[in-house]
Amino acid sequence: MTALAPHPDRLFPADPAERDLARRLHAAVADAPIYSPHGHVPAAMLADDEPFPDPAALLITPDHYVTRMLHAVGVPLGDLGLARDGVPSPASGRAIWRTLCEHWDVFLGTPVRFWFESEFSEVFGLTEQPSAQNADALYDQLAATLASPEFRPRALFDRFRIAVLATTDDPADDLEAHVRLAADPTFTGRVVPTFRADRYMHPDEPGWAGRLDRLAARADIDTSSYAGLLEALRVRRAAFAAAGGTATDTGVIDTGSEPLAEAEAARIHRAALDGSLTATEAVAYRRNMLYRLAEMAADDGLVMQLHPGVHRNHHRPTFDAYGPDTGHDLPAVGSFTEPLTPILRDFGTNPTFRLVLFTVDETTFSREIAPLAGFYPSVYAGAPWWFLDTPAAILRYRRAITDSAGFTKTSGFIDDTRAFCSIPARHDMSRRVDASFLASLVVTHQLAEEDAFALAHRLVDDIPRATFRLG
C-alpha cells in the first residue's frame, strides 16, 4: 500500500532560500488558534457532544466538495448517503467509504485531496492512502477511533485550537443550541450564530409565505406587511447579537441594491402574498431588501458578509430529488462597483457599517473588490471562497488584492465548511500559502523579514478578529 505521509514542505516555494523562510513563517503560526468567522457546522453538534455516527456520515455525505466530484465521474448521490425525496439513503457507511476509496484518484491535485490527506494523517492517524484494497481496514480503524472519547465533537474542538466558530442560522431559528453552549460551564469554547436572511428576500420562491409565518411566530411580529417583515428582521438581529453573533451573511445572484420607496416595496410584498407578483417586481424587491439589510447593519453594527454570484441549484432534477447544497451550485460572472453604489453612497463611510465582499469570480479581485476596499473604510476583501479556496487561487488573491488594499483590509481565512474535521487542514493550507507569499515579498525586498513574521501572525489573529468584531 502507498504510505500516507503529507510532505512537510507542501505548498512551499521551490527556491531553497525562499522555501526556508516560508517554513519558518509557517512554523511561527502553525499552532496558532483558529478563528472561523464563517462556516456551516451546526451548533447542536457541539451542544449535544454525541459521538460521530460513522466515518462516512462525518467525512463524506455532508461535504458537497467531496460528493460533487464523485458525482461528476458517475457516482449517484444516493450512493453517497444523500436522502432522495426525503427518504434516507439505503447505502451503508461502509459502502459509502468504499466508494470514496475506489475513486481516490479522482481527487489528485485538488484541494479536497490536500484536506483529506492532512485530515486522515494528522487528525485520525491513518498511515496508508485509501484504496479499494484497504477500504474495509481503514473504515474499521476510523470507526474505532471515532468511538473513543477523544474524538467527540468538543474534544476535537479543543484539539483543533478553535478560538471562535461561527455557524450560519436562519432568522427564525431558536438558537437553542447556542444558548445551551453559552450556559454550559464544561464548554469553554466560543460558538456564535450568524444571521442569514436570504430566504426572506425572494418573494417568488416557493414557500416564501410560510417562511414569513415562521419568522412572525419567532419574532412575535406580524410579517404579512413589508413594514412588519423589516421589524421582525430587526428584532431577530438583536436576538442574534444577544446570543453572541457579530455578523450576518447574504447570498444573492447579483449585488444590485437599488432601494424602493416604502409604498412600492409594500405593494410588491402584498402582490407576492396574493399571487400577482411579476418577475421584474421580485428582482426589485430582492435588491431593495439587500439595501435594507445594509441599512440595518449600519444601525446595529453586525458585520455584513456578501456572498453573491452563484447560480443556485443549477440542475433542477437533482434539486427536486436531493434538495439544495448538493453540489450543483455554479459560479456566475461577478460585479460590485456599479450595483453596490446605493449602499456605498449611503453607508460606505459610516463607521458602524462593515461590508465583507466575497466572490467566485476572481476577475473581480483586482478589478473591483480591492479598489473598493482600498477606498471605502467599510469595505473588506473577503478570502477566496468555494471554487476559489484552493492553493493557487489563494495565492492569486494575495497578489491581486495586496497592491490596492494591503493586508489589513482583508478578512482572514474563511473555511466555509460543513466538514468539521477538515477545519484545521483548510486553515493550515491557507497559512502555508500565506507564508509562501510573504516569503516571496521578503526575497524580492518588498517586505522586511520582521514585518513578514508580524503579518503572518496578524493574518491568523487580529485581522479576522478585527474584521468580524470578535473582540
What is the model's pLDDT at position 325?
86
* Nearest partner of 12 among 443, 451, 343, judged by Cα: 443
Q: Could you state, in order of their start, the residue ranges of all structural domains in the chain?
A: 16-50+152-467, 51-151
pLDDT tens digits for range 391-425: 999 999 999 999 999 999 999 999 999 999 999 99
Question: What kind and span of H or E run contains 95?
Answer: helix 93-102
Report the chain's mean pLDDT, rounded to a whole number. 97
* CATH (one of 3.40.50.10210, 3.40.1350.10, 3.20.20.140, 2.60.40.1120) for 16-50+152-467: 3.20.20.140
Q: Taken in order 229, 240, 248, 64, is the CA torsion positive or negative?
A: negative
Answer with the residue of higher pLDDT: 295 or 325.
295
Residues 6+ apart with CB under 8 A from 54: 93, 94, 143, 146
pLDDT tens digits for range 130-180: 999 999 999 999 999 999 999 999 999 999 999 999 999 999 999 999 999
Rg (C-alpha) for the chain, rounded Å, is 23
Distance, CA of 219 to CA of 77 (rounded, Å): 37
Indicate yes or no: pTM above 0.85.
yes
Cell 431588501 belongs to residue: 289
pLDDT tens digits for range 237-294: 999 999 999 999 999 999 999 999 999 999 999 999 999 999 999 999 999 999 999 9
pLDDT tens digits for range 45-54: 999 999 998 9
Residue 1 predicted with pLDDT over 70: no
208-233 mean pLDDT: 98
* CATH (one of 1.20.1050.10, 1.10.2020.10, 3.30.1660.40, 1.10.1270.20) for 51-151: 1.10.2020.10
Name the residue type at position 22: A
pLDDT tens digits for range 76-96: 999 999 999 899 999 999 999
pLDDT tens digits for range 346-400: 999 999 999 999 999 999 999 999 999 999 999 999 999 999 999 999 999 999 9
